[in-house]
Structures are given as C-alpha cells and as structure tokens.
C-alpha cells in the first residue's frame, strides 16, 4: 500500500479515536472535534515519524530533478570561457546570470 494512504488512514484513525473518547466523556461536539484535532496532530507527530518520512521521500522521488539549472549553466559557461582564453587575450566570459541570459536571448534572436 502506498505510504501516503497508510499515513492518512493512521491520522484519521487517531482523530476518530480521540473524537470518540471526548464525546463519551461528555464534551460538546464542537469542543470534542477541536480537541480531537489537536490530540490527533500531536499524537501523529510523535507516533508516526517513520510514516511521515516515507511519505516525504515518496513525494520527493515523484518530483524529479531538473537536468540543468541556472547555477550549473553559469558554471559551465565560466569554465568553458576560461578554457578558451589564450594567455593574456581577453575572454568573453559571463559575469552574471543576467549576462548569460542576455547572451542567450541575443543568440536566439539571430
């Protein structure tokens, strides 16, 4: 069974048990619901850290990672420009993300 289903059912079970206990004790339904929500939150936070970690990991795995990002592009451009520079010859290397973006948009227009 998927981790988020187990975690959700466990939290609902804790809430339902707390709600039943507060209603049996004699609290009005709205106070029992509020207290059951608070108790459910606290108990699930303390008692279910492994399930919560599994849910978080499954969400992170589903998200995926971008193949490239701005920092990687900038670093690659910087290293390529440094490798292409000959001694004292000035190199056309990007100095910021804005410069890199501007050069790319200029290339796209050409």
Q: Does residue 14 sit in the same domain as residue 53?
A: yes
Half-sphere exposure for 73 (CA within 13 Å, toward CB)? 13
Q: Does residue 26 sit in the same domain as residue 59?
A: yes
Q: Does residue 57 sit in the same domain as residue 77?
A: no
Model pLDDT, residue 110: 61
The SS3 call for residue 52 is helix
Q: Full-prediction pTM beyond 0.75?
A: no
Full DSSP string of 8-34: HHHHHHHHHHHHHHHHHHT--HHHHHH
Q: Does residue 12 sit in the same domain as residue 53?
A: yes
> Tokens 């973006």 — which residue?
101
| Cα distance between residue 100 and residue 68, in whole Å | 14
Tens-place pLDDT, residues 64-101:
766 666 677 777 777 777 776 655 455 555 556 677 67
Tens-place pLDDT, residues 37-53:
999 999 999 999 999 99
Q: Does residue 58 sit in the same domain as residue 81?
A: no
Res. 2: pLDDT tops 80: yes
């Amino acid at each position: 069974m998927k981790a988020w289903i187990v975690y959700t059912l466990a939290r609902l079970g804790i809430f339902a048990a707390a709600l039943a206990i507060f209603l049996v004790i004699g609290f009005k339904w709205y106070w029992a619901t509020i207290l059951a929500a608070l108790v459910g939150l606290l108990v699930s936070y303390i008692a279910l850290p492994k399930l919560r970690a599994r849910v978080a990991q499954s969400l992170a795995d589903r998200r995926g990672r971008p193949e490239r990002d701005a920092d990687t592009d900038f670093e690659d451009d910087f290293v390529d420009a440094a490798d292409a520079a000959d001694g004292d010859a000035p190199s056309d290397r990007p100095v910021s993300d804005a410069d890199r973006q501007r050069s790319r948009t200029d290339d796209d227009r050409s």
